[in-house]
Amino acid sequence: MPKITYIESNGKEHVIEVASGMTVMEGAVKHNVPGIDADCGGACACATCHVYVDPAWAEKTGESSGMEQSMLDFANDLQPTSRLSCQIKVTDALDGLVVRLPASQH
């Protein structure tokens, strides 16, 4: 299973095995990683699963969609590699992915 490293804003790391086909958001929420709220459960309806993709992985995780981009525009502390983690689907190609979590989702 692909391993994903989630780094909280305080630096604490969580290395989680996430099944292919799940989203990066689900990997965090289902394993109690704090810092991703994902209130809507992955429906791209709430913008509370904001993450920063490690720049080395930005190309592999792909571009955000128009809807996602519009929602990210309202996120706090937007950065060039900001994504909504409910919109990043885990594949074997993302084994080793590193994402950082913002200090707050609200």
Partner 1 sequence: MSDIGRVVIVGAGQAGGEAAIRLRQLGFKGDITLIGEEPLPPYQRPPLSKKYLSGDMPLDRLLLKPVEAYAEENITLLTGKKVVWIDRAQKKARLEGGRELAYDALVLATGSKVRELPVAGADLPGVHVLRTAGDVDGLRPVFQAGKRLVVVGAGYIGLEVAAVARTLGLEVTVLEAAARPLARVTSPEVSGFFLDQHVAKGVRFELSAQAAVIKGEDRVRAVGLKDGREVPCDLVLAGIGILPDVALAEAAGLTVQDGIVVDAQMRTSDPAIFAIGDCVRRPLAQYGREGRLESVHNAIEGGKIVAAMIAGQPMPALEAPWFWSDQYDLKLQIAGLSAGYDQLVLRGDMAKRAFAAFYLKEGKLLAVDAVNSPAEFLGGKRMIERGASVAPAALSDMSKPFKEIMNAALA
| Residues contributing to the site for partner 1 (CB under 8 A) | 22, 26, 29-32, 34, 37, 39-41, 43-47, 67, 70-71, 73-74, 106
**Nearest approach, Cβ of residue 13 and partner 1 (Å):** 17
Distance CA 36, CA 48 (A): 7
Contact 102, 53 (CB under 8 A): no
Task: Compare residues 31 and 60 and give the one whose CB is closer to partner 1.
Answer: 31
**Nearest approach, Cβ of residue 51 and partner 1 (Å):** 17
Distance CA 30, CA 26 (A): 6
Contact 8, 35 (CB under 8 A): yes
**Nearest approach, Cβ of residue 103 and partner 1 (Å):** 14
